Amino acid sequence: MCGIAGYVGHRNAVEVVLDQLQRLEYRGYDSAGVAFLDGDSLKTIKRAGKLEELKQLIGADLPDSNLAIAHSRWATHGPPTDLNAHPHADQGGRIALIHNGIIENYLELKEELVRKGHSFQSETDTEVAAHVIGQEYGEGTSLEDAVRRGVKRMKGAYAFVVASADEPDKIVAVRAASPLVIGLGDGETMLASDIPALLPYTRRVVILESGQLAILTPEGLKVQNLAGAEVDYVPFEPDWDVASAEKGGFEHFMLKEITEQPEVVHQCLAGRLTEGGKIKFEQIFSDHVLQDIDRINVIACGTAYHAGLMAKHVFERMLRLPTDVFYSSEFRYGDPVLSPKSLAIFVSQSGETADSLAALRLCKKKRIRTLGIVNVVGSSIARECDRVLFTQAGPEISVASTKAYTAQVLVLFMLALYVAQVREMPGIRLRETTAQLRKFGDYVQDALQLEDEIKRVAQQFEDAKLVFFLGRGADASLALEGALKLKEIAYLPTQECPAGEMKHGPLALIEPGVPALFGATDEGVRDKIVSNVREVQARGGQAIVMTTDDEGRFDSVADSVLKVPQSGNPYLNALITIVPLQLFAYHMALVRGCEIDQPRNLAKSVTVE
């Protein structure tokens, strides 16, 4: 969630780290700061609010420095104020430190330091960390030794980046859980909390592992373990290009990411459908293991959890495999009953979500087989799962997840087909289904043509106080995701549930003018949805129906009808409605003047509990 940037080398370091912070804005933050070498001391400038405010404070004439570290903070200890913003200094003001994560024993450490005469400017755990490391930074000690000794006294999950005025060509970074990536250039070395921030400068990337310490100088990188022994590393070249991590002419990353979904579908399917109409996965369990599985647990948070709900329909109806879907935060403390033959599937865009990671570790401790469905290569969940299937959706920058969801559902769908293939289940019609999958990108492209109609619906309901999202079966799972999107970015209360549940309570909230978005892609329950539409209208509500029905059977029933393409497959039909749902949330947020790519109170990557 916090953004970390650091640079040492021949360029203007302040300019580089400010640019890197901008590329990390998607992570969510509420203050920002930078420390840079200014003559023989370190100068720190920091500000509550957006990066733009920090830039104004620094001024157009950027300080000329070859070393800088910078940070965008997501408040955990103390509110987002100028003083609580990072970087923080030690007692002597010789070092500057930035941090992502939480120091669990910071209060004990702080009390001990106060007894020794230390004074603190902020309420943060990070300033305590700076003082602890500063205490270890005595005569004849190198910065890396001080960091190594300091972190031994701290408990928690963190990534620290430290610079010292006394060692002006060096940045030291250490990682315990929170992500850090390092970029290698010619006469320059840099770091960040995520790869897109490095791409304009270098394509040679090293992922720092948990428990490793990095020493960055213009000449290059040294990696050590916490005992001080040198560790080998192998740089790799990410296949993401700079353009795919930038807005590409769209007003918002969210719209760009919604619009690029046809391409994402192709990327996600790439190499996974054979000519003979079968599914092919590179990294998956053996046939024997897949035949042995007796139940599936999908564990995830937020949007990824909603992708898991879609998977439940497929696994249960297609494979007849009992499937439970858990919120990671409930799973980890819920003492779940786990069959030794079960498969635990962890769905995560970032691969760093703290609750999902903890739930994964719990499963590993109980020797349950684990499979990750992850977007970010090299992320913790991807590395720790027994097997991983990447969603291949490219970097998702907007805080509100869109294209990652579509790719997650597709991978889960392909997984169900793969298991059916391995189990030689009759009646699955693999060839036909893979042909429908191949065309899915085109259907998504067609659904994007609804944007103008959706814009009109959004303008009509701009002042709504509450929006309903309804459906049955897979459409009900989509309703949950549509509602989450609207809450997140348009700050509108929503009521979402299976349409058949309305009369058991939620119907009380329908008042004249309240909009209700219905997903109606399932032929089998079409008449039931018609009755639910009438229930809403009888109380003055307005029904907007998204349907694959091309015979106009909702035309005389609904207040508005949004026709989505018919793919021939019930799960894919439901999934197509994600496009109008995402566009509805986007246009509602736009007409209501909300900040779309960094909505309030949310972070892209939730690396703390």
- Let me know if 455 is a catalytic residue: no
Phi, psi angles (nearest 5°) of residue 13:
-65, -35
Q: Considering only CA atoms, give the Rg of the chain.
A: 26
Residue 304 in the binding site for ligand F6R (CB under 6 A): yes
DSSP secondary structure letter of residue 525 = G
| Four-point Cα dihedral 433, 481, 21, 348, nearest 10 | -60
Nearer to ligand F6R, 305 or 554 (CB): 305
| Four-point Cα dihedral 494, 497, 501, 505, nearest 10 | -30
Nearer to ligand F6R, 184 or 484 (CB): 484
Residue 357 in the binding site for ligand F6R (CB under 6 A): no
- Let me know if 2 is a catalytic residue: yes
User: What tokens does 52 get?
Assistant: 């733009």
Q: Please, what's the b/e burial string for 318-334 (b: 16 or more CB within 10 A of its CB; e: otherwise)?
A: bbebebebbbbbebbee
Residue 606 in the binding site for ligand F6R (CB under 6 A): yes
Are β-strands 494-498 and 230-231 bridged in parallel, bridged antiparallel, or unpaired?
Answer: unpaired
Nearer to ligand F6R, 567 or 605 (CB): 605
Geometric angle at alpha carbon 28, from 23 and 29, rounded to 5°: 100
- Contact between 311 and 298 under an 8 Å Cβ cutoff? The reply is yes
User: Cβ of residue 191: shortest distance to ligand F6R, in angstroms?
Assistant: 21
Are β-strands 188-192 and 3-9 bridged in parallel, bridged antiparallel, or unpaired?
Answer: antiparallel
Residue 372 in the binding site for ligand F6R (CB under 6 A): no
User: Cβ of residue 604: shortest distance to ligand F6R, in angstroms?
Assistant: 7
User: Cβ of residue 298: shortest distance to ligand F6R, in angstroms?
Assistant: 12
Residue 85 in the binding site for ligand F6R (CB under 6 A): no
Partners of residue 206 on adjacent β-strands: 182
Burial class (CB in 10 A: 0-12, 13-18, 19+), 139: exposed
User: Cβ of residue 303: shortest distance to ligand F6R, in angstroms?
Assistant: 3
User: Cβ of residue 540: shortest distance to ligand F6R, in angstroms?
Assistant: 31
Q: Tell me the window of 74-82, 234-242, 342-350, 590-598 that interacts with ligand F6R (CB under 6 A).
A: 342-350
DSSP secondary structure letter of residue 236 = B
Binding mask 437-476 for ligand F6R (x = CB under 6 A): ----------------------------------------
Q: Tell me the window of 26-34, 291-299, 350-358, 585-593 that interacts with ligand F6R (CB under 6 A).
A: 350-358
Nearer to ligand F6R, 46 or 332 (CB): 332
Q: Alpha-carbon distance 240 to 259, whole Å? A: 18
Residue tagged active-site, from 170, 487, 563, 604: 604
Nearer to ligand F6R, 133 or 381 (CB): 381
Q: Which of residues 384-403 bind ligand F6R (CB under 6 A)?
A: 400-401
The strand order across the sheet containing 467-471 reads 494-498, 467-471, 515-520, 542-547, 560-563
Residue 353 in the binding site for ligand F6R (CB under 6 A): yes
CA 107 to chain centre: 30
Q: Which of residues 148-177 bind ligand F6R (CB under 6 A)?
A: none
Q: Tell me the window of 4-12, 150-158, 343-351, 509-517 that interacts with ligand F6R (CB under 6 A).
A: 343-351
Return the half-sphere exposure (C-beta side, CA atoms, 13 A cut-off) of residue 538. 9
Residue 183 in the binding site for ligand F6R (CB under 6 A): no
Nearer to ligand F6R, 297 or 567 (CB): 297
User: Cβ of residue 486: shortest distance to ligand F6R, in angstroms?
Assistant: 11
Residue 349 in the binding site for ligand F6R (CB under 6 A): yes
Place of tokens 């993401």: 240
DSSP secondary structure letter of residue 331 = H
Residue with nearest beta carbon to ligand F6R: 302
The strand order across the sheet containing 95-103 reads 88-89, 95-103, 156-164, 171-176, 212-217, 220-225, 230-231
Q: Tell me the window of 66-74, 297-305, 336-344, 581-589 that interacts with ligand F6R (CB under 6 A).
A: 297-305
Annotate 352-395 with three-state secondary structure: CCHHHHHHHHHHHHCCCEEEEEECCCCCHHHHHCCEEEECCCCC
**Binding ligand F6R by CB under 6 A: which of 90, 125, 127, 488?**
488
User: Cβ of residue 353: shortest distance to ligand F6R, in angstroms?
Assistant: 3
Q: Alpha-carbon distance 105 to 439, whole Å? A: 54
Nearer to ligand F6R, 488 or 549 (CB): 488
CA neighbor of 164 nearest in space, from 187, 137, 200:
137
Nearer to ligand F6R, 67 or 608 (CB): 608
Residue 302 in the binding site for ligand F6R (CB under 6 A): yes
CA 83 to chain centre: 28
- Contact between 65 and 13 under an 8 Å Cβ cutoff? The reply is yes
Residue 303 in the binding site for ligand F6R (CB under 6 A): yes
User: Cβ of residue 167: shortest distance to ligand F6R, in angstroms?
Assistant: 36
**Binding ligand F6R by CB under 6 A: which of 350, 573, 577, 582?**
350
Residue 301 in the binding site for ligand F6R (CB under 6 A): yes
User: Cβ of residue 225: shortest distance to ligand F6R, in angstroms?
Assistant: 28
Q: Alpha-carbon distance 358 to 352, whole Å? A: 10
Residue tagged active-site, from 2, 301, 385, 497: 2
Q: Residues touching ligand F6R: how many (CB under 6 A)?
A: 15
Nearer to ligand F6R, 401 or 573 (CB): 401
Q: Which residues neighbour 231 within 8 Å (Cβ) at sequence distance 6 or greater?
A: 212, 223, 224, 225
Residue 348 in the binding site for ligand F6R (CB under 6 A): yes
User: Cβ of residue 607: shortest distance to ligand F6R, in angstroms?
Assistant: 9
Q: Alpha-carbon distance 460 to 328, whole Å? A: 37
User: What tokens does 255 get?
Assistant: 């719209």
- Contact between 355 and 362 under an 8 Å Cβ cutoff? The reply is no
Q: Tell me the window of 276-284, 318-326, 345-353, 536-544 that interacts with ligand F6R (CB under 6 A).
A: 345-353
Cis peptide preceding 179, ω within 30 of 0: no
Q: Tell me the window of 34-42, 72-80, 167-175, 344-352 that interacts with ligand F6R (CB under 6 A).
A: 344-352
Nearer to ligand F6R, 303 or 542 (CB): 303
Residue 380 in the binding site for ligand F6R (CB under 6 A): no
Instruction: Determine the angle formed by the axes of helices 13-23 and 51-58, rounding to 10 degrees.
Output: 170
User: Cβ of residue 165: shortest distance to ligand F6R, in angstroms?
Assistant: 37
Binding site residues, ligand F6R, CB under 6 A:
301-304, 348-350, 353, 356, 400-401, 484, 488, 605-606
Residues taking part in catalysis: 2, 604
